[in-house]
């Protein structure tokens, strides 16, 4: 099973969630357009639609051409068809034939288009999913197919993640499929090159290791299904989704039980393979399994155990090897596992001992538990001496082909023999058929034979049953549960059972159909963390904090510009700008004008030969020539604004020409400027408040409606018992100062 994650999968917003949209329309039913569902361009019958379309279109054209040819041969001038009765008759036939053929051609074309569009829906769905991030919970044959399909259109850009053991088993399983499949190269789903390409795309992840890709964080837990199987937890913008894949909460002889996360996810996507069914306890089914085998071989019979080469096969082999070791009377009866793939997988199991449960790890300290003492491999039926009782575990579990089918056809007519079905089987397979114990079965050669062998269904499936699913969800209590991977009726029953169980717990349970979208809305506040220099001082309530807002994935941080390269992979750069402005006047005039505008205008002593001014330690102005001045500054919003004003001022002085004040007037003392500013302040305060008198040390006494206030004309301090009047005077003085005095910029502004 695989899960796809993408940043757009979850909607997070500080705004209230919008009303849920109507559910997406389901695909059309067979009643709506049966042809759209039956058409297959690769089948023999439906492939004729293309030929029929061409023939019907040609018939529409030739029906009319035939009339013209016949008429022209009879009378020589077919354009005058209205003169002859047969012309009119043939024309009517041609029109009817043309319309009918055109209608049939249109219907065929529409049928083909509808089927193509319906098939494209599934292809686009699979393709779109593969573009993001593919999290493989257990080995998946869909991966090389997906990469092959996408590579045929464009370069596969997705990233694939799975555990170390899953990657090792994945290669073995799929390579074995390519070797044993008996179809033509054109009909193969994928080949060895597709497997190699998919291996290059796979990235491995350890259990509990957290990875982050484009702001999406994910990690995995033990799933307990097969070796390497994982449940993935995905965190997208704070919304956590648990995807269980195939999982089992029961610890067996070699695998640990599926872990339970220590927190509740927002969404739990969980398998529902067994619906509301309940497995037998482990000790009960193990006893049934060994009793059936012991009884059968004691009576001289043979036991066939059709099992998948990976997972349950290793579990059953451990049970049989231990049982044989405890029963010396069985030592002469051979046990075989007939699967070259199982033999290869055994090497993987021996490698990843540390991924198994404590029982296996403790046993491994003394000996390798997968070095069986009473079980031998069987490579082919040609090497099998079928004499006397024996136990053979063979693949495939479906009994559709392979060695398990060969042995079944050979043994099914003997009532002393037994077949043990050890787990879930798919509908439509021979294994599913014989569970119902029919009287006859169809052999691989097409002949029928009586079914006399005993058939026992003992489930060792490592999928969760209802008690496990119920307890798992009861422990997690996720607000949203999505049921997947199950038969429709069983899923519906499981859904209703869970709804009843969690009635009143505010848990939503859905079971979408294949390719049906499920939309859920989540809202939360966005939080930005202050780090670096800005975090060294705790700001007061109401104090402004200035810094850079840095977004990485779905997290926000506020930091000083100087800390950008420390806490991110971004680097900062200073842009120094330089501009030459035409100017042929006196440099002292520029200095005079600047002091009228800005509070800090200093002469630089770096280069005594070149007159230089520095405005608020930001903009440097140099008289490099008699015909122009040069401005130089490090670019930032304030420095750019100051430089723009200086350029405008210099250009304006150049346009004024003789109207510019003389140099001797331009060197007025600071005291004269200050006295002039005080006069302006006094005049404006009188215009605002009326009764204003000048007291000692430059203080102004302001009287309004009997309330007296004292204003320091230099510093702006106000003394007054009336808080409202005090605030009015302070506001007025601040605005007047901003208008009559130079701009008080600082280097840190």
pLDDT tens digit sequence for 519-560: 999 887 788 899 999 999 888 888 888 899 998 878 889 999
pLDDT for 109 equals: 66
- The dihedrals phi and psi of 496, each to the nearest 5 degrees, come to -65, -35
Res 117 pLDDT > 60? no
pLDDT at residue 633, rounded to an integer = 92
Gyration radius (Cα) of the chain, Å: 43
Domain boundaries, the chain: 27-124, 132-277+484-499, 282-457, 528-567, 576-667, 671-740
Strands (E), 445-562: 448-450, 454-457, 480-484, 508-510, 521-523, 528-530, 548-552, 555-559
How far is it, in rounded angstroms, from Cα 700 to Cα 702? Answer: 6
Distance CA 533, CA 548 (A): 12
* Active site amino acids: 463
Q: Classify each residue of 707-744 as buried b or exposed e, where b means 16 or more C-beta atoms within 10 Å of its C-beta.
A: eebebebeeeebebeeeebbebbbebbeebeeeeebee
Output the pLDDT for position 115: 56
- pLDDT, residue 667, reads 47
Name the CATH topology of 132-277+484-499.
Metallo-beta-lactamase; Chain A (3.60.15)
Confidence of residue 573 (pLDDT cuts 50, 70, 90): confident
Q: Tell me the per-residue pLDDT of 175-205, one tens digit each, with 9 for 90 and over.
A: 877 776 777 777 778 888 888 888 888 999 9
Alpha-carbon span 188 to 192, nearest angstrom: 11
Residues 699-713: pLDDT tens digits?
788 888 888 888 876
CA distance 239 to 522: 8
Q: Helix H segments across 482-557? A: 488-501
Using alpha carbons, select from 105, 99, 123 the residue that is nearest to residue 50: 105
Report which of residues 677 and 62 the model is more confident about: 677
Kindly tell me if the per-residue pLDDT of 403 is higher than 80: yes
Q: Among candidates 458, 507, 466, which has minimal Cα distance to 486?
A: 466
What percent of the chain shows pLDDT beyond 70?
76
Q: Which helix (H) or strand (E) holds 195?
A: helix 192-201
Per-residue pLDDT at 717: 80
pLDDT > 90? residue 70: no
Return the percentage of the chain with pLDDT > 90, whole number. 29
Give me the pLDDT at residue 10, please: 36
Q: Which CATH number fits domain 576-667: 3.30.1490, 1.10.3470, 3.90.930, 3.30.9?
A: 3.90.930
Question: Which class would CATH give 282-457?
Answer: alpha beta
Average pLDDT, integer, range 454-472: 92
Q: What's the CA gap between 479 and 468, in Å, rounded?
A: 18
Is pLDDT larger for residue 57 or for residue 388? Answer: 388
Are residues 683 and 700 in contact, defined by beta-carbon separation less than 8 angstroms? no
CA-to-CA dists, residue 502 to 334, 474, 505, 507, angstroms:
51, 8, 5, 7
CA–CA–CA angle 85, 91, 93 (5° rounding): 110
Tens of pLDDT along 122-177?
555 455 444 567 899 987 877 887 777 766 555 667 789 999 999 988 888 888 77
Say if strands 699-704 and 691-694 run parallel, antiparallel, or are unpaired: antiparallel
Mean pLDDT, all residues of the chain = 79
pLDDT (0 to 100) of residue 253: 85
């Amino acid at each position: 099973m695989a899960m796809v994650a993408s940043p757009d999968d979850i909607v997070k917003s500080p705004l209230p969630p919008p009303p849920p949209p109507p559910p997406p329309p389901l695909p059309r039913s067979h009643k709506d357009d049966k042809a759209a569902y039956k058409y297959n361009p690769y089948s023999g019958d439906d492939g004729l639609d293309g030929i029929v379309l061409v023939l019907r279109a040609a018939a529409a054209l030739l029906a009319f051409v035939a009339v013209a040819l016949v008429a022209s041969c009879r009378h020589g001038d077919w354009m005058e068809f209205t003169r002859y009765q047969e012309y009119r008759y043939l024309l009517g036939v041609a029109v009817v034939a043309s319309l009918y053929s055109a209608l049939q051609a249109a219907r065929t074309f529409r049928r083909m288009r509808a089927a193509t569009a319906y098939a494209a829906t599934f292809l686009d769905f699979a393709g779109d999913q593969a573009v993001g991030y593919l999290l493989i919970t257990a080995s998946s044959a869909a991966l090389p197919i997906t990469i092959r399909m996408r590579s045929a259109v464009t370069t596969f850009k997705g990233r694939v993640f799975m555990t170390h053991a899953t990657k090792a088993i994945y290669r073995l399983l799929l390579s074995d499929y390519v070797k044993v499949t008996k179809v033509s190269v054109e009909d193969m789903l994928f080949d060895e090159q597709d497997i190699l390409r998919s291996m290059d795309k796979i990235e491995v992840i350890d259990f509990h290791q957290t990875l982050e890709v484009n702001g999406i964080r994910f990690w995995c837990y033990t799933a307990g299904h097969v070796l390497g199987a994982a449940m993935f937890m995905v965190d997208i913008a704070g919304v956590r989704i648990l995807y269980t894949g195939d999982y089992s909460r029961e610890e067996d002889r070699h695998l640990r039980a599926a872990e339970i996360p220590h927190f509740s996810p927002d969404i739990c996507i969980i398998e529902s393979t067994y619906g509301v069914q309940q497995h037998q306890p482990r000790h009960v089914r193990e006893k049934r399994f060994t009793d059936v085998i012991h009884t059968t071989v004691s009576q001289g019979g043979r036991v066939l155990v059709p099992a998948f080469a990976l997972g349950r096969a290793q579990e059953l082999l451990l049970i049989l090897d231990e049982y044989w070791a405890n029963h010396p009377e069985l030592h002469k009866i051979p046990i075989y596992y007939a699967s070259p793939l199982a033999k290869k997988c055994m090497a993987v199991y021996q490698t990843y001992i540390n991924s198994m449960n404590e029982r296996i790890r403790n046993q491994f300290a003394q000996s390798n538990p997968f070095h069986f003492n009473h079980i031998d491999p069987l490579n082919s039926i040609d090497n099998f001496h079928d004499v006397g009782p024996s136990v053979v575990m063979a693949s495939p579990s479906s009994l559709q082909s392979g060695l398990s089918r060969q042995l079944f056809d050979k043994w099914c007519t003997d009532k002393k023999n037994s077949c043990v079905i050890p787990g879930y089987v798919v509908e439509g397979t021979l294994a599913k058929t014989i569970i119902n114990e029919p009287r006859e079965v169809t052999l691989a050669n097409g002949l029928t034979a009586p079914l006399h062998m005993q058939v026992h269904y003992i489930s060792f499936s490592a999928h969760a049953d209802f008690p496990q699913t119920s307890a798992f969800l009861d422990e997690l209590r996720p607000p949203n549960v999505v049921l997947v991977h199950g038969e429709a009726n069983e899923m519906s029953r499981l859904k209703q059972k869970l709804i009843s169980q969690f009635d009143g717990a505010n848990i939503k349970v859905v079971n979408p159909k294949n390719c049906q979208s499920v939309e859920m809305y989540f809202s939360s506040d966005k939080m930005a963390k202050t780090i670096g220099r800005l975090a060294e001082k705790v700001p007061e309530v109401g104090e402004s904090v200035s810094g850079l807002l840095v977004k990485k994935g779905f997290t926000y941080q506020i930091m000083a510009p100087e800390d950008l390269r420390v806490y991110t992979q971004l680097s900062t750069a200073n842009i120094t700008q330089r501009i030459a402005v035409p100017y042929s006047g006196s440099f002292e005039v520029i200095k005079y004008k600047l002091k009228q505008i800005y509070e800090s205008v200093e002469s630089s002593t770096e280069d005594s030969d070149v007159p230089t001014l520095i405005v608020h330690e930001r903009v440097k102005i140099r008289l490099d020539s008699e015909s122009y001045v040069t401005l130089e500054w490090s670019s930032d919003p304030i420095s750019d604004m100051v430089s723009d004003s200086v350029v405008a001022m210099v250009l304006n002085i150049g346009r004024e020409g003789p109207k510019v004040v003389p140099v001797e007037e331009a060197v007025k003392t600071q005291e004269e400027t200050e006295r002039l500013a005080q006069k302006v302040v006094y005049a404006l305060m009188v215009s605002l408040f009326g009764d204003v008198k000048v007291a000692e040390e430059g203080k102004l006494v302001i009287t309004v409606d009997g309330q007296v206030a004292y204003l320091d004309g230099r510093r702006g301090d106000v003394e007054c018992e009336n808080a409202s009047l005090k605030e009015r005077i302070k506001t007025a003085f601040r605005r007047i100062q901003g208008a009559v005095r130079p701009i008080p910029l600082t280097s840190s502004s």
